[in-house]
Amino acid sequence: KNEVEQSPQNLTAQEGEFITINCSYSVGISALHWLQQHPGGGIVSLFMLSSGKKKHGRLIATINIQEKHSSLHITASHPRDSAVYICAVGGTSYGKLTFGQGTILTVHP
């Protein structure tokens, strides 16, 4: 069993829909990261959080430390949100991250 599990693996939505991607982890963490990778593009950091909730534009990330679970929400989805979304958890050892498999999101106009 992977230490970081994401669901779903693939997600297709229509423009304007509300999207949720889930991440569960089984290890102790110092922070959880949500990353975005557009096709052929590099990886950018969307959120880093260790508790509660963060919001940036149409993106919201939440984390429940007790349940070892995080969600990434996208409100009013747009085709430019089409990308791979990756959940990663950081422990305390030199900043190493453990990554989920990623969720491929496709938003159709």
Least distance (Å) between residue 50 CB and other proteins: 4
Q: Provide the strand spans (E) within 1-108.
A: 4-7, 10-14, 19-25, 31-37, 43-49, 52-56, 59-64, 69-74, 83-90, 97-99, 103-108
> Does the footprint of other proteins cover residue 36 (CB under 8 A)?
no
| In the complex, minimum distance from the CB of residue 27 to other proteins, in angstroms, rounded to a whole number | 12
**Cβ-contact 106, 13 below 8 angstroms:** yes
Q: Does 100 bind other proteins (CB under 8 A)?
A: yes
Q: Which residues bind other proteins (CB under 8 A)?
A: 30-31, 33, 35, 41-45, 48-50, 86, 88, 90-91, 94-97, 99-102
